[in-house]
Structure 1
């Protein structure tokens, strides 16, 4: 049996990290779900897309009813505001609140600390090249990202 190829390594990487909730050390999984909702709304907004429930569902790869519950929970927690869509008043659209922006800032700081810990001992050049390789893969895949 031969060693796994780069494609297998890529998908092992994706499987491993997709099973890890985006939460800080010791924080409950619900907090990670709220961060996920805020990240999705933020990413959609950066791309100039309306953050409707359907768009959030597509952004994070879940069904519409799950996205609806997720958006509602984030709004109840004060991280998102829900209002009528500017493009279509019949649709509801989410936007980040100031608390949501703070939540994202804290999550992004935590993500940077995790990356620093995982790449401890790497040269700055290797870290930049790895970051660029991940960015290139995302762009080539056509996957939405922040």
Structure 2
């Protein structure tokens, strides 16, 4: 495969990766809980910040009504609790409940087991290199808003 072919294959690989579920490996997490972790991750990834339903919508790139349903589902499942904002008593913020923290701990263990299961026939060096590069890629996503896209002309 040429360098250009390799780079052209990245986009389709990401699409396929997104369609491939972690449900397919050992000790699966339910599809419902897997969906719930999207919201729980948003709250976990912003420690010390007041995460609202609107913030969840923005960070997940979904309509506020969709975010509201997702948050309500997590509250009904016992994974999230609503609390009054310490900065503005009129706002409601979200916190993980002890059950939500346990689900996320179980999910993290599942993610690690899935990574190890999927890459079982890789060398340890390849596993670690891929993990390092994936984290670097994700960190680069955070800086996209400060970078300008190249001029297509």
Q: CA separation in 1, counterparts of 2:43 and 2:19?
A: 21
CA-based RMSD:
2.3
Question: Residue 22 and residue 97 in structure 1: after superposition, are their counterparts in 2 closer, same or farther (change >3 A)?
Answer: farther
Residue ranges of structure 2 left out of the alignment (5+ in a row): 145-153
Structure 1 gaps, min length 5: none
Could you say which residue in structure 2 is the equivalent of 1:4? 5
Cα deviations across residues 23-59 of structure 1 (Å, max 9, x unaligned)?
Answer: 57565422222222211211122xx332111211222
Q: Paired residue for 2:68?
A: 68
Distance 1:81 1:128 in 2: 37
1:81 corresponds to: 81
Q: Compute the TM-score of the two structures, normalised by the length of structure 1.
A: 0.82
Say if 2:92 is the partner of 1:92: yes
The one of 31, 34, 38 aligned to 2:33: 31
- Bigger Rg, structure 1 or 2: 2
1:115 matched residue in structure 2: 115
Q: Determine the C-alpha separation between the residues in 2 that align with 1:95 and 1:143.
A: 26
Q: Which residue in 1 is equivalent to 2:54?
A: 54
- The match for 1:44 among 46, 57, 65 is 46
